[in-house]
Chain A
Amino acid sequence: MSTSSTGRIDKPGFGLLIDRTKPLSFTFDGRLFNGYQGDTIASALYGAGQVLLSRSFKYHRPRGALTMNGLDANTLVQVADEPNVRADLHPVSPGLAVKSINRLGSLERDAFSVLDYFGRFLPVGFYYKTFFRPAGAWKYFERPIRIMAGLGTLDPRADHKYYDKAYLFTDVLVVGGGQAGLEAATAAAEDGAETLLIEENSELGGSLLYGRVGDSRDAADTLRRDLAAKARGLKNLTILTNTVVSGLFTDGWAAAITGNRLLKIRTRQTIVAAGSFDQPIVFRNNDRPGILFATAAQRLMRLYGVRPGNRAVIATSNVFGYETALDLLDAGSEVAAVVDLGTTTGPAVEAVRARGVRIITNATPVDAKGYLRVESIGIASITGQGKTSSVTDWITCDCVLISVGCSPALNLASHAGAKVIFDPAIQMHRAVNPPEGVSLAGSAAGVWTPNLVSTHARETGAMAARLASGAPAGAQPETIDHGASAITHAYPIFKSGKGKEFIDFDEDLSIKDIINSVKDGYDDIQLVKRYSTAGLGPSQGRHANLNTIRVVSAVTGKPPEVIGTTTFRPPLVPEKFAHMAGRAFEPTRLTSMHRRHEELGAQFMTAGLWMRPAYYGAKNNAARAIEDEVRAVRNNAGLIDVSTLGGLDIRGPDAAAFIDRMYTWAYEKQPVGRARYTLMTDISGVVIDDGVACRMAPNHYYVTATTSGVDQVYRAMTWFNVQWKMDVDVANVTAAYSAVNLAGPKARDIVQSLASDIDFSKEAFPYMGVRTGTLAGIPVRVLRVGFVGEAGYEIHCPASYGEALWDILMSAGKTHGLKPFGVEAQRILRLEKGHIIVGQDTDGLTNPIEAGMEWALAKKKPFYVGKRSIDMQAAKGITRKLIGFAITDSAAPTPKDCHLIIRNGAIVGRITSVVKSPTLGKVVGLAYLPLDMTETGHRFEIRVDGGTMVAAEVVPTPFYDPDNARQDL
C-alpha cells in the first residue's frame, strides 16, 4: 500500500525546516492531508504516508520521491493552473490544492499503466520508426500519444501573473551555499571583493544540513552554523537563498531564478560550488516508490522530521550509506540490512556494526517486490562487473536507500566553456580548463574530504577576489583528494533476465534500451542520447548520464573516458516562459494633445509606437463619424494632431548643400520662408520617405518626415553626414515639437482670430510659405501646406505647448464649425487629392518613376542619394506605374487595399489605396498597373473578396480639385 504510516520523527535534531506548532491542511487529488509550515508538498505527503506521487512518462509506473531536492521528475505535480511543479521544492500552504499528473483514473489505479505490459512494442527509438506510414497517419496517433505521454496540463484561462527581471552586479559570484560555497564566499568577501552567494534551498549549509562530518551529525551542524553566521556577518557578502543559477555564460553573465524573477547577473569571477548529484543502482524494479537516494532520506529526516520508512534496507558502496543507517537508527527506524556493493571500511561502518545491523558485503539489490511501494528487496552476491548470483535473500522492508556514488554538478562550468572529462581514478567526471573567470570548489571540483574542502574553497575564494580586483591569481589551490576514490562505485548496473531495470527514470529507459541504441548503430554517446532520449527529461540526465556512459562503455568495449559525455546546456533547472518574458515593456508614445483626444471620444490606432486618433466617436458609428469629419474639412475646417510627423533641424553653413544631396529635388536656391516637397530614395533608388523642407534661414532647414520613416531618415542623414564631412548639424526634433494641421475653407478665419505677429493673409502668406512667430502667445513654426487638398496651416510648436495650442484652436474654431478629424478621414481626404503615402502606395522596390513622382526628380543636379540607380532605371524603362482609378458600377462591392488586378486570369497589378469618397460620391483609388493598361479610360478588373470581379477605369489624379484651386484659396 502507498499509505503506510511512516509518520514523523519527534526527536531533537529532526525537522529543521518545519514548525510543528503550525499545522496546516491541504489536498492531494482531492484528499485532505496535514503537514506543517515549512514542509514541501512531497515531505508533507510522505510524512502522512502518501509515498506514491506520480506515474512515469511512458509506462505509467508508480513513482515516489527520489532526491527530495527538486532534481527528479518523479515529484512533478499540478498546483492549480501551474503544471509540472516540483513537489519536493514547493512549500505547502493552507488549502493548497495539489493534483497528480499523467494518469487515467486515480493515481493508484491508473488505466494507462497497462502500457507497462506492452514495453516490447515500444522499443527504444520506436517513434522514429512508427506512426508516419501510411502518409497522414500521424494525425491519428498524435492525440492519443499526447494524452498518454503528457505531463502537466496548461490552462489557457490561467490568470496572468507578475514576473519580472532584474540585473545584479558583483565582483565574485559563488554558486552553492554548502560548506565549499560558504568557505569560498567568506574568503572572497574577507579579501575585499563584493561577493554574491546564491543558494537554491531556503537554508544555507548544503549537505551539512542533513549529513555528517567525520560520522558526527553534531560536527556537521556546528560547522554549518559557524560558517553561516560568519558569512552573514560580512557586509560585502550578499546572500540569496531560494535562488538557483540556471545558466552561466561568457563574459561573466549568469542567469538565476528567484521566485517570479529572473536575475541577470554580471560578475567578474564565478565559483561553482554546486555539489554533486546522487547516482542510482540499476536493477529490476529499481523505480518502486520507497526506493530513494540515501540523501533524500536524510533530507526527509533532518529537514522535515519525516521517517523514510519503518524498516529500511541500505544499498551502498561508501561511508555515506552507513552514515544514513546511523541517522535511521537515531530516528528510531529499523535498519534491516546494509547491503554493501563492496567492502567499505571506516568508523561509520564500525558504528553501524556495533549497533547490531546486518551488513552484507559484495552484494547488491537485484529485484524489488511491491507495486505502489516497495515491500521487499532481493539481494544477490556480486560475481563480476554487472554480474551477480541468483537472489540469495529477500528482505522485507518499506524503503530502500541508495548511496553508490555521485556525479559532480559540472553543468554550470560546462555552460561557461569548461571541458568535462571522466576520471577513472575516482569514477566521476571532472571539469578541466574552465574559462577565465570561472573556478570550482567542493565536490564539484572533486574535493570531498571536509578539511580539504575548507582549505581548497577558501583558497579558491581568495584567488577569485584577487582576480576580480585585477591582481595576479597567485598559486592555484590543490585539488587532489584521495578520499574521492572511495565514493563512487564503478558499475552499479545489474541486468536481470526479465523485467525493467531503469537507467533514466524520466524517460522510462532501461538497460536494454541503451544496449539496443548501440546495436541500432548509434554508438556515439551523443547519438545514444538523441536516439534513446536518455538525459532529455526534466532531470536532464543528472542521474542517468553516468550509467548510460557505463553501459555504452560495456557494450562497445571502450573505457568511459573514451566514450566522452554529452553536452550540458542551459537552463540547469526548468525556466518558465514567463521568466524569460519577464515584465512586458511596451513603450507607447502619446502626443501632448492625447488627453484632449481621449476627452473627445477618439478611437485610437497605433502608428509605430505612437497612438493616434483614428476618428472621434463611437465604434459602432465609425463610418458616419469619419464621413462627418471629411465633410467638416471640405466645408468648414478640421483640426488633426500631426505631432507624430517626424521633424529634423538641419543647421550649419552646408545645410542647403546637405539637403540637396539627401533629397531628389533641388533646394539650394529655395528661398527662405518657403517649403518644398521632399522625396528621399535610398542608394538603390527606392522611395523611402517624403515630407517638406522648410527653409527657416539660409543655414537652417526644418524638414518633416513620415511618422514611421523619421528614424530611418535621421539614421541616413547622420550616416551620410559622417561620410561627407559637411559643416552641418542634424538633429531629430520629432519629440520636441507638437503639430496640428488646421485645414478647410475657414482655416484662415480661425488663425486670423487669434493674436499673432504672423500675417496670415493670402498675399503675405502664400501656399507653400513658412513663417515663424507666435500664435496666442505660443511660439510657432507655421507651414502653409495642403496634404488634404484644402487651404490649411500646419502649425508646429514646442511640445510642452501642444495641449494649449489644441485648446486655443478648438476654442477659436467653435464658431467656424471646426471639428477634430483623425487619421481615417485624413486618408480619405489625401486620396481624394491623389496624394500618395510612402509605405502604402509604395513598397520596398518602388522607384519614383513608377510612383509617378518624376516631377520631384531634379534633372540638373549632379548627385543625390539614389540618383545613379534612378537614372539607370529610367534608361532601362519601367514595367508598372501607379495610376488613379474609379469604380464604374456604383452598385459594385468596394475593393480593399491590396486586392489584385486580373487580366486574362493572371495577376497584373494591385490596389494600394482605395476609398469610397464622400466628397465625390464614388469609389476611387490608386493601383499599380502594367504600362499598357495605364491610359486614361482603360478598363480593367479587380478581384475582390469572394472572387467577385469588379470593373474599374483608369482616371487622372487628383480626383478632387484637379486645378488645386482650393488649397490656394
Chain B
Amino acid sequence: MTTPEQHLRRTPLRSALAKAGATWTATPAGDSAISDGLGTIEAARHLAITDLSPLPRLGFKGRETIPAMKKRGITLEATPNRAFRQPDGGLCLVLAASEVILLSPLAGDGGKLQELHDNWRLDDAERTYPMLRRDSQAWFVVSGAKTPEMLAKICGIDFRLTKFPDLSIAQTSVAKISAIVTRADIGNTPTFHILADSASALYFFDCLIDAAQEFGSSLACRTVLRNLESG
C-alpha cells in the first residue's frame, strides 16, 4: 500500500479515483502510485473504465521516426493508425509516418521507455524527437463488449467490433477533446486505450463515467486488466 502523495509523479485522476474507493499500489517502476481495488473481471468484460495514467509511455516525433524506432528494436511498420504489439506486451502506436507513441505493458516495462528517453541525444541528428506523452496525455482503458455502444455516445467514429478491428487507431475528437483511440484487445475482451489531454483528464473521466452509466458500468484497475490478460 502506498499513497499518491508519497510519489513525485501523480495521476491527474487521483482525487476522483480516491472518491470512488480506490486503494493505491506503487507502479512497477516505483515512481508513482496506481489505483487498485476497483472492479471485477466480469465488469471488465462487460464495460469498465481503468486509469493507467501512472504507467510509462513515451512518444517520438520527427521525419525519421520510423527508422529510428526500428533501430531501437521496436516492432512497427510505417502504417499510420495501426498499433503493433511488442514482445514485452507493450504497444507501439503509429500515428503517422513521422510519429509514434510507445505504451508500457500492464506489467511494467522494466525501465525500457525511460532508457529510450534518456539515451536519446539531440546531437545524434536522427530527426526524431521524444515527446513527454506520460505528462501530456492521460491514459484510459475502456474494456468490455459494450464499449463500442458506449463510445458511440461521445464519439462519431464507428467503433463496432466488426468495423474497427483489433490494433486499429482513430485520432479523433471524443467528448469534444482530441483523443487517440486504440483498440488492443486483452484476450477475447474488446479493449480500447484512449489517450487524451492530461489537463482535461477529470472532465474526460466524468464524460466516460456518464456515457457508461446506462450500461451499468464500473471502474476497474490495472490488477483486473492483468487478470483479464492472464485469462
A299 at the interface (CB under 8 A from B): no
Q: Which residues of the partner chain A approach B154 to less than 8 Å between Cβ atoms?
A: 585
Whether A167 pairs with B155 at a CB distance below 8 angstroms is: yes
A595 at the interface (CB under 8 A from B): yes
The residue on B at minimum CB distance from A697 is: B122
A801 at the interface (CB under 8 A from B): yes
**Per-residue 0/1 for A697-715: is the Cβ within 8 Å of any B Cβ (1 yes, 0 no)?**
1011000000000000000
A735's contact among B32, B53, B197, B207, by CB below 8 Å, is which? B197
Q: Which residues of the partner chain B approach A799 to less than 8 Å between Cβ atoms?
A: 132, 135-136, 198-199
A803 at the interface (CB under 8 A from B): yes
Whether B122 pairs with A800 at a CB distance below 8 angstroms is: no
CB within 8 Å for A165 and B153 given contacts A585-B176, A731-B61, A799-B135: yes
The tally of residues in A whose CB lies under 8 Å from a CB in B reads 45
B12's contact among A165, A194, A592, A652, by CB below 8 Å, is which? A592
Whether A587 pairs with B175 at a CB distance below 8 angstroms is: yes
Q: How far is the CB of A959 from chain B (nearest CB, A)?
A: 34
B136's contact among A653, A735, A777, by CB below 8 Å, is which? A735
Q: How far is the CB of A961 from chain B (nearest CB, A)?
A: 34
Provide the bound-state CA to CA distance between A803 and B5, in Å: 9
The residue on A at minimum CB distance from B131 is: A731
B28 at the interface (CB under 8 A from A): no
Whether A798 pairs with B132 at a CB distance below 8 angstroms is: yes
CB interface residues, A 241-283, toward B, < 8 Å: 264, 266
Whether A166 pairs with B131 at a CB distance below 8 angstroms is: no
Q: Which residues of the partner chain A approach B129 to less than 8 Å between Cβ atoms?
A: 649, 651-652, 729, 731
Whether B122 pairs with A700 at a CB distance below 8 angstroms is: yes
B85 at the interface (CB under 8 A from A): no
Whether B137 pairs with A800 at a CB distance below 8 angstroms is: no
B200's contact among A167, A589, A807, by CB below 8 Å, is which? A589
**Per-residue 0/1 for A161-175: is the Cβ within 8 Å of any B Cβ (1 yes, 0 no)?**
000111111000000
Q: How far is the CB of B46 from chain A (nearest CB, A)?
A: 18
**Per-residue 0/1 for B11-50: is the Cβ within 8 Å of any A Cβ (1 yes, 0 no)?**
1100100000000000000001000000000000000000
Whether A592 pairs with B10 at a CB distance below 8 angstroms is: yes
The residue on B at minimum CB distance from A650 is: B129
The residue on A at minimum CB distance from B133 is: A736
Whether B135 pairs with A804 at a CB distance below 8 angstroms is: no
Whether A737 pairs with B61 at a CB distance below 8 angstroms is: no
B116 at the interface (CB under 8 A from A): no
Whether B127 pairs with A590 at a CB distance below 8 angstroms is: no
Whether B197 pairs with A801 at a CB distance below 8 angstroms is: no
Most chain-A Cβ atoms within 10 A of its Cβ — which of B12, B131, B155? B12
The residue on A at minimum CB distance from B151 is: A167
A67 at the interface (CB under 8 A from B): no
A935 at the interface (CB under 8 A from B): no
Q: Which residues of the partner chain B approach A700 to less than 8 Å between Cβ atoms?
A: 122
Provide the bound-state CA to CA distance between A169 and B157, in Å: 9
Whether B199 pairs with A167 at a CB distance below 8 angstroms is: no
B160 at the interface (CB under 8 A from A): yes
Q: Which residues of the partner chain B approach A585 to less than 8 Å between Cβ atoms?
A: 154, 175-176, 207
Most chain-B Cβ atoms within 10 A of its Cβ — which of A168, A653, A735, A798? A735
Q: How far is the CB of B69 from chain A (nearest CB, A)?
A: 15
CB interface residues, A 167-212, toward B, < 8 Å: 167-169, 194
A394 at the interface (CB under 8 A from B): no
Q: Which residues of the partner chain A approach B207 to less than 8 Å between Cβ atoms?
A: 585
**Per-residue 0/1 for A787-827: is the Cβ within 8 Å of any B Cβ (1 yes, 0 no)?**
00000000000111101100100000000000000000000
Provide the bound-state CA to CA distance between A729 and B158, in Å: 32
A605 at the interface (CB under 8 A from B): no
B9 at the interface (CB under 8 A from A): yes
Whether A729 pairs with B61 at a CB distance below 8 angstroms is: yes
B135's contact among A610, A653, A731, A736, by CB below 8 Å, is which? A736
A861 at the interface (CB under 8 A from B): no
**Per-residue 0/1 for A635-654: is the Cβ within 8 Å of any B Cβ (1 yes, 0 no)?**
00000000100000101110
Whether B61 pairs with A798 at a CB distance below 8 angstroms is: no
**Per-residue 0/1 for B84-102: is the Cβ within 8 Å of any A Cβ (1 yes, 0 no)?**
0000000000000000000
Whether B135 pairs with A729 at a CB distance below 8 angstroms is: no
Provide the bound-state CA to CA distance between A735 and B136, in Å: 5
CB within 8 Å for A729 and B62 given contacts A587-B177, A803-B10: yes
Q: Which residues of the partner chain A approach B175 to less than 8 Å between Cβ atoms?
A: 585, 587
Whether B152 pairs with A167 at a CB distance below 8 angstroms is: yes
Q: Which residues of the partner chain A approach B32 to less than 8 Å between Cβ atoms?
A: 800
A871 at the interface (CB under 8 A from B): no
Whether A801 pairs with B199 at a CB distance below 8 angstroms is: no
A727 at the interface (CB under 8 A from B): yes
B134 at the interface (CB under 8 A from A): yes
A733 at the interface (CB under 8 A from B): yes
Whether B163 pairs with A609 at a CB distance below 8 angstroms is: no
CB within 8 Å for A595 and B15 given contacts A167-B152, A585-B176, A799-B199: yes
The residue on A at minimum CB distance from B62 is: A729
Q: Which residues of the partner chain B approach A586 to less than 8 Å between Cβ atoms?
A: 176, 203
A583 at the interface (CB under 8 A from B): yes
CB within 8 Å for A778 and B8 given contacts A166-B153, A652-B127, A731-B131: yes
Whether A587 pairs with B156 at a CB distance below 8 angstroms is: no
CB within 8 Å for A264 and B10 given contacts A649-B129, A735-B199, A799-B198: no
CB within 8 Å for A800 and B9 given contacts A588-B203, A589-B197, A700-B122: yes
Provide the bound-state CA to CA distance between A69 and B35, in Å: 53
A591 at the interface (CB under 8 A from B): yes
Q: How far is the CB of B206 from chain A (nearest CB, A)?
A: 9
B1 at the interface (CB under 8 A from A): no
Q: How far is the CB of B26 from chain A (nearest CB, A)?
A: 15
Whether A588 pairs with B127 at a CB distance below 8 angstroms is: no
B210 at the interface (CB under 8 A from A): yes
Provide the bound-state CA to CA distance between A607 and B175, in Å: 20
Q: Which residues of the partner chain B approach A652 to less than 8 Å between Cβ atoms?
A: 62, 127, 129
CB interface residues, A 752-783, toward B, < 8 Å: 777-778
The residue on B at minimum CB distance from A738 is: B135
CB interface residues, A 93-147, toward B, < 8 Å: none
B202 at the interface (CB under 8 A from A): yes
Provide the bound-state CA to CA distance between A820 and B3, in Å: 25
Provide the bound-state CA to CA distance between A614 and B61, in Å: 36
**Per-residue 0/1 for A590-611: is the Cβ within 8 Å of any B Cβ (1 yes, 0 no)?**
1110010000000000000110
Provide the bound-state CA to CA distance between A127 and B203, in Å: 50
Q: Which residues of the partner chain A approach B155 to less than 8 Å between Cβ atoms?
A: 167
Provide the bound-state CA to CA distance between A933 and B156, in Å: 57
Q: How far is the CB of B167 from chain A (nearest CB, A)?
A: 20
Q: How far is the CB of B64 from chain A (nearest CB, A)?
A: 10
Whether B135 pairs with A800 at a CB distance below 8 angstroms is: yes
Provide the bound-state CA to CA distance between A196 and B8, in Å: 51
Whether A800 pairs with B198 at a CB distance below 8 angstroms is: yes
Q: Which residues of the partner chain B approach A729 to less than 8 Å between Cβ atoms?
A: 61-63, 127, 129
Q: How far is the CB of B6 from chain A (nearest CB, A)?
A: 10
A591's contact among B9, B176, B199, by CB below 8 Å, is which? B199
Q: Which residues of the partner chain A approach B132 to less than 8 Å between Cβ atoms?
A: 733, 736-737, 798-799
Provide the bound-state CA to CA distance between A169 and B162, in Å: 11
Given contact pairs A729-B61, A729-B129, a sample of 17 additional A-B residue pairs in the complex whose CB atoms are under 8 Å apart: A166-B152, A167-B153, A583-B210, A585-B154, A585-B175, A587-B175, A590-B203, A652-B127, A729-B127, A733-B131, A733-B136, A735-B197, A735-B198, A799-B199, A800-B10, A800-B53, A800-B135
B residues neighboring A (CB under 8 Å): 5, 7-12, 15, 32, 53-54, 61-63, 122-123, 125, 127, 129, 131-137, 152-156, 158, 160, 162-163, 175-177, 197-204, 207, 210
Instruction: Please give me the 9 A-B residue pairs with the lowest Cβ-Cβ distance, nearest first.
Output: A736-B136, A589-B199, A799-B135, A736-B132, A798-B135, A585-B176, A735-B136, A804-B8, A169-B158
28 contacting pairs across A/B (C-beta < 8 A): A165-B153, A167-B155, A169-B158, A586-B176, A586-B203, A587-B175, A587-B203, A587-B204, A588-B203, A589-B197, A590-B203, A595-B15, A651-B122, A652-B62, A652-B127, A700-B122, A729-B127, A729-B129, A731-B129, A731-B131, A735-B136, A735-B198, A736-B132, A777-B8, A799-B199, A800-B10, A801-B9, A804-B7
